[in-house]
Structure 1
């Protein structure tokens, strides 16, 4: 943006702003978002019918006081809307990545929705969940904010692997040392990140959660990845011999520790005067939780984590193609319920387990995701509905890059048979990658971007991954074409 000035006929100075092309495009998108919101508000029952609003990667989530006032058919006809549905008390409008952020911001400005804490009305209208659903939803909320850090580490590991494979930089160079540090940092401090996010989700002090994560990854504790080469030291505490083993990269120990911390902190607040809470509550909470974590919770959590990863590895090894087909075919149902993010906890556990050290589940999930795009391509070529054809291609491409909500909720679930075709295609692709032993070194990426975290583990690993993608997309496309579908008016 440049400030310029000139003179008019009366020799008065006239100031003007000259925008760059990128700035003009940004302003245009913001104006379009504001216009979209003004068109949307009457269709959802007006401003007074919106109790709260949030958004995720591709969906605008509205809490409506009366959903019957919403004109779903009219909203679906709006430019840029890829689908509308309601789930667990939320009215959700699929807008796609990037655009949803701008629309949400315009909506917040238009009706002054609080962007920080959940509203009281949202809490009151939130549907009751059974214990299992509540547990899985909690895991999802904890791990969603951490995904960018893990994705960065995975991409850096991919870059590091290519640098090593092609010899672009010598191994002892400063660049290689920095890349190695950058790529492993997220996994080293993972308990700290999880501690912060978990404490926030459990209603405790996030900083104290991070401190507990720091205790479990303290340099004085031996990294569990080095157990094969080093012997841990022991300390005598109340007559107990406690092994000084750390929990770098682990999940369950820090989750259990922060949960205990949050419960203990809430109990303390009932008895300690408010005038002393800043001094006493953090001191007592950290001391108590730290001792309990090192003595009991940490070892117990490590044992549970090893049991889970060991069980999955057993199924992976002996159920083979059947497991791949079932996992790949059923994964879409996890996405429908919104519980798929909870699987990140299991994936992190696989990566942290020295006996496993790789993520063999993510390639299966990736097959399920791209299969949704293959089914949408078949819809594009067979459909006579201009609205479906308009959103089918961008939604399919979005799924190839790991975002499947637009294609799933906007097309496949509405037409049913494409969803079935995609499920079978994902199962076939999942069976192939399991049979070929395709694995990844991180989590959070699927589709084409996932090549960055499968290539470092070998060229053949990447080739088999690409073959799996081709099988999933082709099978989903073919089955959707054969099964046909009844178009919506």
Structure 2
């Protein structure tokens, strides 16, 4: 089947030209935003010779075709469908309109936090190395170690500025004004937030109301709310300020008004809510123990299907940056769930007689060990259902173990084998044991349960879409 024939075969299986909102492609996948996902004939689509699998994620139908070939199929597809070429960002914008409010909120948080993950990982990795060196007695308190220790906490000390700059794009704010707002919230003239435990030293009084002169180092929610409010202030001023004065007056008023509102209202409120979330999760973690890991680890992959997991980055950043917590105890649980999907997918590789599924299952299983689960979940395990259930059990067992062993991480966004790098040295062995338990139990249970019958192996389009949009 050539590229033209492939495009012609795909079009009716996704509901025809009238069902296409927009179409784009990435390095390997055709990305389609559709009017009605219920018109997808998934089993027939996955059965095409050139299609290696398909799944719905983030409001987009993603059809895996492969590097190089996807470009040619895409060109033929948009010509047949009569739609104009779109960028992946255009597609994301179109897809956002198809999401429910919870999914849109989660996607918004993902768009803000994913760009800053690399710097948090870099600092978290260095923090882990320093901690391991001290634990094992490899390093003493030398000037070099002090310098590296300063490097390791930089992302968390200046986290409000990083978040503000990233959030500005999402909230349609001048990014430099947003960064300045973040700087105001951690200004040296304010009492350092990490010394609040010793008491608040000074207050402002406006109109008889007192406000603590405390900074917001290591906080997440106050700056998110602050930049969101700043967006409304900036756009409102743009409508009323004459063009001749806009360049001078609008930035000045935007920053002044946002800064006052943040330090007097949003900051204190955001700190209370943010701490409530963080300490609430810590209480569940400490009280429920392995049971919490069992539940969270078992449910995580189902949450991934909904797309709501993207919002967890904000919660994890709050845990890390909170001086009273300073560790990410959620990410090891998510990691166990991801690895378990790989164990189930590997079992499918050995059990299935479908050559096409074999072609997808092995690389999908390996990618789960690197923290990438979409191919395994949507392309393999949900196809047969039982492996997905087995993976949930594996994630639950692995999650219970890492909570029992008190495994935590020093960053966000990295799971599976790469996640070892951000686990403190004293906890690495338990993290690896948890992965082996999750992967092995998911593999074994899939092997015992077997795959669904031949009819169930290729679910109907209606069942597949329902499964993917839970």
TM-score (normalizing by structure 1) = 0.80
Give the Cα separation in 1 of the matches to 2:2 and 2:336.
35
Deviation per residue, 1:295-344 (Å, 9 max, x gap): 11111111111111111111111122221111011111111111211011
Aligned mate of 1:154, from 124, 141, 147: 124
Partners of 2:3 and 2:76 within 8 A in 1: no
- How many residues align structurally? 445
Deviation at 1:43, TM superposition (A): 4.4
Partners of 2:343 and 2:439 within 8 A in 1: yes
Aligned mate of 1:426, from 395, 401, 406: 395
Aligned mate of 2:441, from 475, 478, 481: 475
Aligned mate of 2:238, from 254, 262, 269: 269
Give the Cα separation in 1 of the matches to 2:3 and 2:373.
24
Aligned mate of 1:118, from 90, 97, 121: 90
Partners of 2:27 and 2:70 within 8 A in 1: no
Larger CA deviation: 411-420 vs 271-280? 271-280
Unpaired runs of 5+ residues, structure 1, are: 1-34
Pair 1:484 & 2:453 matched:
no
What is the match of residue 106 of structure 2? 136
Pair 1:452 & 2:424 matched:
no
Q: CA RMSD in A?
A: 3.5
Give the Cα separation in 2 of the matches to 1:380 and 1:436.
32
Deviation at 1:196, TM superposition (A): 2.0
What is the match of residue 355 of structure 1? 324
Deviation per residue, 1:223-268 (Å, 9 max, x gap): 3223346854434444444322221221110111111111222222
Aligned mate of 2:61, from 81, 88, 91: 91
What is the match of residue 374 of structure 1? 343
Deviation at 1:452, TM superposition (A): 1.2
Pair 1:464 & 2:430 matched:
yes
Deviation per residue, 1:433-486 (Å, 9 max, x gap): 1122111121111111111111x2x42x22221111111111111111121112
Deviation per residue, 1:12-41 (Å, 9 max, x gap): xxxxxxxxxxxxxxxxxxxxxxx9977764
Aligned mate of 1:127, from 71, 84, 98: 98
Deviation at 1:95, TM superposition (A): 6.5
Deviation at 1:61, TM superposition (A): 2.5
Aligned ranges 1:72-87 → 2 under 5 Å: 73=44, 77=48, 82-86=52-56
Give the Cα separation in 2 of the matches to 1:78 and 1:279.
60
What is the match of residue 387 of structure 1? 356
What is the match of residue 63 of structure 1? 33
Larger Rg: 1
Give the Cα separation in 2 of the matches to 1:177 and 1:110.
58
Partners of 1:54 and 1:104 within 8 A in 2: no
User: Residue 431 of structure 2 aligns to a residue in which SS?
Assistant: helix
Larger CA deviation: 255-264 vs 205-214? 205-214
- Distance of aligned partners of 1:304 and 1:65 in 2 relative to their CA distance in 1, 3 Å threshold: closer
Aligned ranges 1:99-114 → 2 under 5 Å: 113-114=85-86
What is the match of residue 25 of structure 1? none
Higher relative contact order (CA 8 A, sep 6+): 2
Give the Cα separation in 1 of the matches to 2:60 and 2:166.
23
User: Residue 227 of structure 1 aligns to a residue in which SS?
Assistant: helix
Deviation per residue, 1:59-105 (Å, 9 max, x gap): 652225787698974665456x5421345652212479xx59x9579
- Distance of aligned partners of 1:71 and 1:435 in 2 relative to their CA distance in 1, 3 Å threshold: closer
What is the match of residue 179 of structure 2? 210
User: Residue 61 of structure 2 aligns to a residue in which SS?
Assistant: strand
Unpaired runs of 5+ residues, structure 2, are: 79-83, 459-470
